[in-house]
Amino acid sequence: MAPRRRQCAAMQEYERLLEEQPSFRGNQQRAEAFTARAVMSGEAERVARRMVTIPVVFHVVHRTPAEDLSAAQLQSQLDVLNRDFRATNPDTSKVPAPWQGLVADAKIEFRLARRDPSGKKTDGIVRVPTERRSFGPGDDVKRAGRGGSVAWPADAYLNIWVCTLGGGLLGYAQFPGGPKATDGVVVLNTAVGTEGTAAAPFDGGRTLTHEIGHWLNLRHIWGDTLDCSGGDRVPDTPNCEGPNTGQPTFPVITCSNGPHGGMFMNYMDYVDDAAMFMFTAGQVTRMNACLAGPRKSFAPARGATTSPAGGCTCTRRTPTGRWCSARSAPSCPRRVAGSRSSCGRTAPSPSPASARPTRPRRPAAAGTSPTTPSR
């Protein structure tokens, strides 16, 4: 039976990593410090000017045929994510008038990976049979020896594990800075997409919208306290006493946050799928800072171009700037997330006539090589 109330274990996992992984605390502190600098310096805004496409691999860990979700159901989930993160979901019209101006487009899109880590073609779906009846918080679903599926490289793919979860859980995510071998999102198989096994009230695909928000360093909007003392580190989400559930009626006033109350329709609250509609501009800025920092491998670099066939992405550098030249073929043996594994040709040395950039770019950082791979 599907859970009747949203329950996310992301903060439980956060606390566990603080205890078990000595490096996680420092990584999170550095991520928060970088976020503050990126917001102040404009680096987060520079990410916002470009579309970011994140390759996804679904690990469908199943014991029964019903748990082996169809490709159509998984695609319906990606369709929801692409509407929600682009603010093109029709139900943004239900956002109360005081907050309509805060609804923001994150310019993030998700697609199934087309290449696996070895460079072979893939449909972006890994199907793994298991004897486990259910999984809980922790990393068992991410380990083959414990009935799960091994992660693909976390700097190239968003790993999403789909399985049966116990304890009424809908899902959980790993915040930036955790171990790469376990990085990604776990979601209940009856809370995926909008068809097939998706079960009300979590049959709108919003569980993954919520959990990917955590993966991009967003917190719950009430700050995970129950006394108005918490916060989500985003200035345009009102403080509130605790999570909202079900389908509340506007306004819900707590913590002296009248007249409009808490932003229960935010994706980072606990309401039903049919009652959440938005990320705010402040949340989008925080996610962009994450893509400029701890998850920068997913964001394309300034001055980069990608071949139409999904090949290698490179920039060229001269003493006066860097640009992409039609005459220079990429020479950057590197992994491109979910695409081609390397490029084989070498960029020719530009002649004096061809070394004049037609589209100047910001000078490259000191110490970069003449042909610098970038995303």
Region label for 150, one of left (φ > 0), alpha (ψ between -120 and 50) or beta (otherwise): beta
Collapsed DSSP state (helix, strand, coil) of residue 158: strand
Which of 241, 294, 258 has its CA nearest to residue 35? 294
Alpha carbons 267 and 176: distance in angstroms, whole number? 19
Which of 232, 282, 289, 279 has its CA nearest to residue 255? 232
Identity (one letter) of the amino acid at 227?
A: D
pLDDT tens for 105-118 read: 999 999 999 999 99
pLDDT at 2: 76
Kindly report the number of other CB atoms within 10 A of residue 274's CB atom: 16
Predicted confidence band at 321 (pLDDT cuts at 50, 70, 90)? Answer: very low
pLDDT of 346 strictly over 70: no
pLDDT of 364 strictly over 80: no
Tell me the average pLDDT across 209-232.
96
pLDDT at 365: 37
Alpha carbons 25 and 23: distance in angstroms, whole number? 6
| Residue carrying the six token digits 């989930």 | 77
* Mean pLDDT across the chain: 85
pLDDT at 356: 38
pLDDT of 368 strictly over 50: no
Angle of CA points 79, 152, 60, to nearest 5° = 55
Q: Which domains does the chain have, with CATH numbers?
A: 10-298 (3.40.390.10), 305-375 (no CATH)
Residue 179's Cα: distance from chain center in Å?
16
Helix (H) or strand (E) holding 161, with range, is strand 158-163
pLDDT of 27 strictly over 60: yes
What is the full DSSP assignment across 253-266?
--TT-TTTB--TTB
Alpha carbons 351 and 312: distance in angstroms, whole number? 23
Angle of CA points 197, 202, 203, to nearest 5° = 45
pLDDT tens for 116-152 read: 999 999 999 999 999 999 999 999 999 999 999 999 9
Q: Which two tokens stand for residue 24?
A: 């996680």
Beta pairing class for 108-112 and 158-163: unpaired
Collapsed DSSP state (helix, strand, coil) of residue 64: coil
Q: Which two tokens stand for residue 320?
A: 């006066």
pLDDT tens for 31-62 read: 999 999 999 999 998 888 889 999 999 999 99
Question: Comparing 211-220, 334-343, 350-359, which segment has the lowest mean pLDDT?
Answer: 350-359
* Residues known to be catalytic: 211
pLDDT at 298: 96
Which of 33, 67, 46, 35 has its CA nearest to residue 141? 67
Q: Which two tokens stand for residue 61?
A: 């860990």
| Residue carrying the six token digits 């129950």 | 226
C-alpha dist (Å) from residue 365 to 121, 293, 332, 359: 35, 16, 18, 18
Residue with the bigger pLDDT between 46 and 184: it is 184
pLDDT at 302: 54
Alpha carbons 238 and 253: distance in angstroms, whole number? 10
pLDDT tens for 8-22 read: 999 999 999 999 999
Alpha carbons 48 and 5: distance in angstroms, whole number? 33
Length of the chain, in residues = 375
Which of 15, 27, 43 has its CA nearest to residue 362? 43
